[in-house]
A and B are shown apart, each in its own frame.
Chain A
Amino acid sequence: MLAALGLVACSLIVLTNATRGDIPGSPHYYVVRQGAYAAVGLVLAILLTRFDYSRLRELKYGLYAAMLGLILVVLALGTAARGSKRALSLPFFSFQPAELGKLLLILALSAFVVDRLRRLRDRDTTARVMLLALVPALLVMIEPDLGSGFVYTAIALTVLFIAGTTWRHFVALAAIAGVGIALTLVVAPAAGVQVLKPYQQQRLTGFLNPSSDPRNQTYQINQSRIAIGSGQKSGRGAAHATQTRLNFLPEHHTDFVFAVVGEEFGFLGAAVVLSLYALLIWRTLRILTLAKNLYGALIAGGIVAMFMFQVFVNVGMTVGIMPITGVPLPLMSYGGSSVIVTLMAIGLLQSIHVQARVSGRGKGRALNV
């Protein structure tokens, strides 16, 4: 677990280092800051490791309220960057509550599900859990931050899934989701109501047909694919990564950082990074099974969902098989909130692991999968 964490943090430093050249005069601007965030995150993670996560269960209402409150504050006071209000400007960095919200939601939802464990088969429970997740999801979508909204939904579904909600409920949810998508994409525009902004809609559908409009909507996907493809087997090296260095690749330090890996280090580098994520997810799943109580398992499940969703959507986006949404690649993308929250999540997992070992010391290793 710690090994995975260390490796990911390490690759992050290497990569950000290679990416720099954007801010004239201070070539290490991003690296230094990313390093500082990682350090803060690590400290928080270590603190969380020493802390019994189970106590957070009592605070579920407080956590949930904190999450909603932060999101609302952003909507009210946030600073706009490129048309979206996502962050609160703090003295040191701009803080994105939607990121922290992911963790808070996992904690709150898991607690809620544990409380209603007896009535898990009720339609009522499923509906309430989904509702609890959809409220913040919709709020962040208003920011607009589509990606985080989807992450929230994915977290809720996974928590329910791990808790053991019946299949019928998932089928019903899928049906409702299908109708909802149809409504937003087809019916609502036809009726004159624009739920999604045109650029969002085009991003969601543009990846299906990347050459349709190479100068505008699908520019990012094309450039990203060119970057990754031109890396070939072993990469072009930092000095010759023209896509990155000459700014053809947009957002190369945040959303498209994986394309940078692909261009500079090729298939090998990308494979190493992916393997690290696979290791991380495998370890998380293992902790899920080891957890001393259901709450821990659910938290681990939520975190797995968060990782999996973000990795898959982000990497999928850079290789052109997923739509472009502003989902960061955990630990790799530049961004204080994301890095700190991800490290805190790992700290939490560690805590679950530690607690499981503490309580399972007498029982031996019977719970291994």
Chain B
Amino acid sequence: MLQLPDDRRPPITPQLALRVAILGGAALTMFAIIFFRLWYLQVLSGDKYVAQAQNNQIRDVVVPAPRGDILDRNGRVLVDNRVSIAVQAQVEKLPPLHTPARRVLMRRLRVLLGVTPAKMERDIRQQHRLLPYQDVTLKQDVPSAVRDYVLERQNEFPGINVQRVFLRSYPHHELAAQIFGTVGQISPEQLKRARFRGVQQGTVVGKGGLEYTYDRYLRGKPGATRVQVDALGRPKGEFPQRQPLQGRQRKLSLDLGLEQAGQNAMAEAGGIPIVNGEKNRGGAFVALDPTDGELLGMGSYPSFDPNIFAKPLKESTFKKLNSENTGAPLINRAIQSGYPTGSTFKLITALAALSTGTITPDTVIDDPGSVQIGNIVFHNAGGTAHGAVALRQALQVSSDVFYYKMGAALDGVRGEPLQTWAHRLGLGRPTGIDLPDEISGLIPSPEWRNRLFRKRLTDRPWSVGDNVNLAVAAHRPAAGAARQDRSLRSPGHHGRAASGRQRARRHLRRRVRGLPGSGLRKDGHRAAPQPGRPVLVRLLRARGQRTGTHPGGGHGRAGRVRRPGRRARRPADPLPVLRRPEEARHRLLAYVLEPTWPPPPPRARSTAASRSRPSRPAGRCRSTRSWCSPPWA
């Protein structure tokens, strides 16, 4: 063996021994550190990491539940669902912006969906800002071929997935669109509200109308599927956990036939909505059962087709739906606009006058066709002179002068009997109908008028003329937008007075299907017996028997509906008779038509006010069903 001279093996020196020991010590320390670390990771905190490993591989995929159907009182479908396929993007899994990968993806999507990359990026930006953590819908309603294409090529479409979504479908299109309302993904603000407790992000909830009110029942329970995925998010296996549970059916008191008749009549009267054209008048109608407050029909014109909300809405379309030029179809005029009650208010005036002793049922007042109060002359409609009339005749012929004088006499009386009685009978406050965003209407009062005047919102303080106008429920002209009441309430107080029963809450619901003991409130609420009952009932009988239309006069916008069969004996009855063979009950119907839109400037209304009779909404009804009898008014 070759041994170089200076490489003789030296006996192990103390120095070498020390250094080897140090090396060995270093190795020992190193192993000790690793052992302790392992002990810590695996034995002490192993559970935590097991959980994390589980989380890693399991993705909970929410399977949306279809919402419950909405039915009419006879079980006919008003709103249901259809299945649609949507291409969605998970924003955090998309390739980063401005990278080649992102551009490639967008190019592929453009070819596939026919949407420009710029638009998709804009959608992603906007929707992501509004609803972070939420999948952004790139395109709704794609054919199933597109779905298969994307699913088979998940690698080429990172962050893109295909979801089966349920879209609301409205088979009757414009029918009662405002009542049903719209649906949409829950917003971050809504998520925080108690009303939506327990609702997961991304759930579709009601945003308005009945969809909002009964969201709890219609919503259903989303199902869940657990998917085992690998590191790239590719599914490796599925374990269905929970089937989605469709929302409950909601049966309404609405009658589809009546609803259609009303809608057609409104369309006929209002005309086709042509901007700046002649026949574009907004309006609303309400039909209800006064005994229990059930709404049989309700509509607002112009209407819109809610099916357009199924897809992301163009901003211009949305603006059009809210614009005054098109009559703001989104507004439910039946509960969100105020209209004068018209001559039906005379009942209240009569009641107030009787209760204060201003008149007795037999007090005779002369009606020469006009009356001067202050320096303004108030005329009867059509200028007809009715001669000497007592309360009963005044109601029958709808003598305005009689009630003008009542209004003048009641002005300044302590306790404001006119306003108080109007309030007692439910005017100027919400009816409590099961729809959101109801406005409460307005009873003009000295306090209200003078407050406006102090704020310089009106040209003069309260005067006797105001009370005179209120007595026949004319426009409150100077206040501009302020109207006395609205159509919904109009049949309400009338009907309430007519039945002489307790006040029943207006409502649309009938029952929730498949839901015994749902905890729904009982229909109506048991209030105290209606004030002023005996007198009113007598009065109404009078008005009902040969009531309020006579040439140039009566114009009951709230009509009294009689039992079937009675009509034959009163062939001249001008009020609509709703004959329902299966149910012999009272029905009340009210409608209102607006002047053309765009609405006239406020000045025009002021001039109308100075006339003795306010300009009055007019309307007619054409029957489309045998039970909707032709024109009243």
Could you list which residues of chain A lie within 8 angstroms of chain B, going by C-beta atoms?
A: 52, 54-55, 57, 114, 117-118, 158, 161-162, 164, 223, 225-233, 242-243, 246-248, 250, 262-263, 266-267, 270-271, 274, 277-278, 281-282, 285, 288-289, 291-295, 297, 301, 304, 308, 311-312, 315-316, 319-321, 359, 367, 369
Contacts and interface: CB of A to CB of B under 8 A. Distances in A.
A214 B15 CA distance: 48
B232 interface: yes
Nearest to A250: B231
24 contacts: A54-B1, A114-B4, A117-B6, A118-B6, A161-B22, A162-B19, A230-B52, A230-B53, A246-B56, A246-B231, A248-B231, A250-B231, A262-B38, A263-B53, A267-B43, A271-B35, A271-B38, A285-B20, A285-B27, A288-B20, A294-B7, A294-B10, A312-B34, A316-B33
Given A226-B56, A230-B52, A271-B38, A285 B6 contact: no
Contact of A246 (B15, B43, B228): B228
Contacts of A242: 53-54, 56-57
B31 A319 contact: no
Contacts of A231: 42, 46
A289 B10 CA distance: 11
Nearest to A316: B34
Given A246-B57, A246-B230, A162 B20 contact: yes
Contacts of B3: 54, 293
B527 interface: no
Interface string B31-65: 10111011101110111111011101100000000
B49 A57 contact: no
Given A54-B1, A315-B34, A267 B12 contact: no
Contacts of B50: 229-230, 232
B12 A289 contact: yes
Contact of A295 (B7, B37, B46, B57): B7
A289 B16 CA distance: 8
A142 B26 CA distance: 30
Nearest to A117: B6
B12 A369 contact: yes
A369 to B, nearest CB: 7
B42 A262 contact: yes
Given A230-B53, A242-B53, A164 B15 contact: yes
Contacts of A250: 231
A333 to B, nearest CB: 16
Nearest to B48: A229
The SS class assigned to the A binding surface is helix
Nearest to B45: A229
Q: Which 4 pairs of residues, A with B, have the shortest CB-CB distance?
A: A229-B49, A232-B46, A246-B230, A230-B53
B1 A230 contact: no
B8 interface: yes
Nearest to A222: B52
Given A227-B53, A242-B56, A246-B236, A55 B2 contact: yes
A38 B409 CA distance: 115
B41 A281 contact: no
A310 to B, nearest CB: 11
A242 B34 CA distance: 24
B37 A321 contact: yes
Contacts of B56: 223, 226, 242-243, 246, 248
B23 interface: yes
A249 to B, nearest CB: 8
Contacts of A304: 23, 27
A277 B230 CA distance: 32
B452 interface: no
B528 interface: no
Nearest to B13: A164
B9 A293 contact: yes
Contact of B57 (A248, A267, A278, A315): A248
B23 A158 contact: yes
A319 B236 contact: no
Contacts of B146: none
Nearest to A268: B42
Contacts of B31: 274, 277-278
Contact of B41 (A52, A228, A248, A288): A228
A52 B1 contact: yes
Given A54-B3, A230-B53, A281-B27, A292 B46 contact: no
B30 interface: yes
A273 B521 CA distance: 70
B57 A228 contact: no
B17 interface: yes
Contact of A294 (B2, B9, B33): B9
Nearest to A305: B23
Nearest to B39: A267
Contacts of A226: 49, 52-53, 56
Contact of B26 (A164, A228, A308, A320): A308
B531 interface: no
B345 to A, nearest CB: 68
Contacts of A288: 20
B46 A233 contact: yes
B233 to A, nearest CB: 10
A161 B19 contact: yes
Nearest to A311: B30
B8 A293 contact: yes
B131 interface: no
A233 B1 contact: no
B37 A319 contact: yes
Given A54-B7, A230-B53, A316-B34, 6 more contacts: A225-B41, A242-B57, A248-B56, A281-B27, A285-B20, A308-B30
Nearest to B92: A215
A232 B57 contact: no
B599 to A, nearest CB: 56
Interface string B431-459: 00000000000000000000000000000
Contacts of A57: 4, 7
Contacts of A289: 12, 16-17, 20
A54 B6 CA distance: 13
A99 B166 CA distance: 60
A114 B9 CA distance: 11
Contacts of B35: 271, 274
Contact of A359 (B9, B19, B24, B37): B9
Nearest to A242: B57
B7 A308 contact: no
A164 B23 CA distance: 13
A319 B23 contact: no
B23 A228 contact: no
B4, B8, B10 interface centre (most CB from chain A within 10 Å): B4
Nearest to B31: A278
A165 to B, nearest CB: 10
A114 B6 contact: yes
Contacts of B228: 246
